[in-house]
Structure 1
Amino acid sequence: MVEAGLRSHLVTARHAAGLLIERKGMLVLTGYALPENGSGHVFYDLAMQGVGTLGAATACDLAEHDVAAVTVSPGFTRTEAILVAFGDNPLPPGSDSVEHVGRVLTALWNDPASNERSGHTVTTADLARHYRITEPGDIPA
């Protein structure tokens, strides 16, 4: 978890920094908004909380270059691996398709005010509500 989940974000952010500065871009990291008492899995919690901390620190380090760093917590996403793992079992309510997460990230990227989120961890559910993006078949809020 720490090697793949945290270190990979750190190495990617480090190598992307020059390009982000050149293009005044936005770094989007995938972390996890931990519940108050964590999930009960120490290495998962450490890796995901570390990604949020990396996002906040990167936002501070690159702010003078007009670069934003936002950590996005996608929640339970119906990836191909998840669908295979669940098989015929029902998926948890509130899970998101990968397409839904992609639409939310696209809206964040295209939002001229997205830099206001720099340094914060936001959930795709909160972003979806903000941008009024729903899964196909959902009833709009």
Structure 2
Amino acid sequence: MAERVAWVTGASRGIGRGIAVALGRAGWTVWITARSGGASGPTSHLPGTVEDAAAAVSEAGGRGIGVVCDHRDEAQIQAVQQRIETEHGALHLLVNNAWAGYERLNAGEWAEWNAPFWQQPLGLWDAMFASGVRTHYVTSAICAPLLRRSSPAAIVTVSMEAGARHEPSYGVAYSVAKAADDRLAEAMAGQLAADRVASVALYPGLVRTEGVMQFAEHLDLTGAQSAEGVGRVVAALAADPGLMSLTGRALVVADLASHYDVDVTG
């Protein structure tokens, strides 16, 4: 098989790492970016670096390449894109997963996360958009020319069902940001379709990430998904010859798992 190249952002831990490792098991070359690196140090008390994730991809059977990258800085994104283009000449899958919107929650601010919006710091909105939605837009824009030349290709933007409908338990900034991610995936799909580049939003369920497991006492984890289980769905989706028929849609991980007969819990 020809080399298949993916870039997973925000992949030092959590869902991003799970997606990267699952792609590695499927034989992909996976570029992994995040702010946490061995030399630069972690951005959180949670474990994980880009080097650790890259090693896990390689151990799974793929080729992992870890690069420290702050996705709020387009120059750093451009530098990674140029390396991918120089080393491979192609990019078949971009997974937009970088997301700083959980930083304060991961630091232990459970009460703040569940407070009404007028009691939350305004910086939470900025984290959701400047370090979330904007990073997805900028990374996609920088990668679009290479993806178009590599088609068939795909952009998967990790979102959440808060984008499709608002529930009282969702924070205002979170709900609006996820709706923006969904519209981003839909709008990009229309402009990329002629080049056979699919763009979809992806809705994982409750995933047993390092951050989530801090709050296990507050959560019902029955049927919760694993990060690599979400990744197995992404690998199956990327290999689907009918992927273009799904472009522009928000796709639920549980539904895709049933369709592709993929285990998402283990």
Q: TM-score, normalised by structure 1?
A: 0.87
**Given that residues 5 and 48 in structure 1 are in contact (C-alpha distance below 8 angstroms), is that contact kept between their aligned partners in structure 2?**
no
Comparing 33-42 with 64-73, greater Cα deviation is found at 33-42
What residue in structure 1 maps to residue 171 of structure 2? Answer: 41
Alignment of 1:97-108 (within 5 A): 97-108=226-237
Q: 1:42 to 1:99 in 2, by over 3 A?
A: same
User: Distance between the aligned counterparts of 2:187 and 2:265, measured in 1?
Assistant: 36
The match for 1:64 is: 194
Relative contact order: is structure 1 or structure 2 higher (C-alpha 8 Å, sep ≥ 6)?
1
Aligned length: 136
Following TM superposition, where does structure 1 have runs of at least 4 consecutive aligned residues deviating by more than 6 angstroms?
none
Q: After the TM superposition, which residues 103-122 of structure 1 pair with which residues of structure 2 at under 5 Å, given as runs?
A: 103-122=232-251
Counterpart-to-counterpart distance in 1, 2:243 and 2:228? 20
- Asked if 1 retains the 8 angstrom alpha-carbon contact of 2:226 and 2:265, the reply is no
- How does the TM-score come out when normalised to structure 2? 0.48
Per the TM alignment, residue 120 of structure 1 is displaced from its structure 2 partner at its CA by 0.2
The correspondence of residues 1-141 of structure 1 with structure 2, limited to 5 A, is: 1-24=128-151, 25-34=153-162, 36-38=165-167, 39-83=169-213, 85-86=214-215, 91-135=220-264
Greater helix share, structure number = 1
Of 29-38 and 64-73, the range deviating more from structure 2:
29-38
User: Separation in 2 of the partners of 1:113 and 1:40?
Assistant: 33
The DSSP-based 3-state class of the residue aligned with 1:2 is helix
Residue 201 of structure 2 aligns to a residue in which SS?
strand
Please, what is the CA RMSD of the aligned residues?
A: 1.9
The residue matched to 2:160 in structure 1 has which SS? coil
Query: Which moved further from structure 2: 31-40 or 90-99?
Result: 31-40
Partner SS state of residue 77, structure 1: coil
Decide which structure has the larger Cα Rg and report it. 2
- Residue 31 of structure 1, CA deviation: 1.2
Contact between 1:2 and 1:46, CA under 8 Å: does it hold in 2?
A: no
Distance in 2, matches of 1:89 and 1:67, equals 40
For 1:94 and 1:6, locate their aligned partners in 2 and report how far apart those are by CA, in whole Å.
28
Cα displacement (A) at 1:54: 0.3
Q: Are the structure 2 counterparts of residues 106 and 37 from structure 1 closer, same or farther at C-alpha, using a change threshold of 3 Å?
A: same
In 2: Cα distance, 1:44 partner to 1:110 partner: 31
Identity of aligned residues (%): 35
Q: CA deviation at 1:13?
A: 0.9
**Helix, strand or coil at the partner of 1:112:** coil
Unmatched runs of 5 consecutive residues or more in structure 2: 1-127
Alpha-carbon offset, residue 93 of structure 1:
2.0
The one-letter code matched in structure 1 to 2:203 is S
